[in-house]
């Protein structure tokens, strides 16, 4: 079960609610964090492969 609350739809029936700015900012921070972790992991893996290849 999620700790976040669902917002009621503000538009016509059946239309999903529009996301709030803080939700979009949180999603952007998650994507940036994931991207940084993947980039660092790839960089370390390449560094190790390069050093062990000598």
How is the chain split into domains, by residue range? Answer: 20-54
Q: What is the pLDDT of residue 7?
A: 57
How would you classify residue 53: left for phi > 0, otherwise alpha for psi between -120 and 50, otherwise beta?
alpha
The two structure tokens encoding residue 9: 């739809």
Name the residue among 30, 33, 13 with its Cα closest to residue 22: 30
The two structure tokens encoding residue 1: 């079960």
Confidence of residue 5 (pLDDT cuts 50, 70, 90): low
Does the pLDDT of residue 12 top 70, yes or no?
no
pTM for this entry: 0.62
Confidence of residue 14 (pLDDT cuts 50, 70, 90): confident
Which sign, positive or negative, has the C-alpha torsion 31, 32, 35, 41? negative
């Amino acid at each position: 079960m999620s700790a976040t609350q669902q917002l009621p739809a503000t538009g016509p029936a059946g239309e999903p609610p529009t996301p709030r700015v803080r939700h979009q900012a949180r999603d952007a921070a998650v994507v940036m964090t994931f991207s940084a972790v993947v980039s660092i992991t790839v960089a370390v893996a390449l560094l190790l492969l390069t050093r062990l290849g000598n």
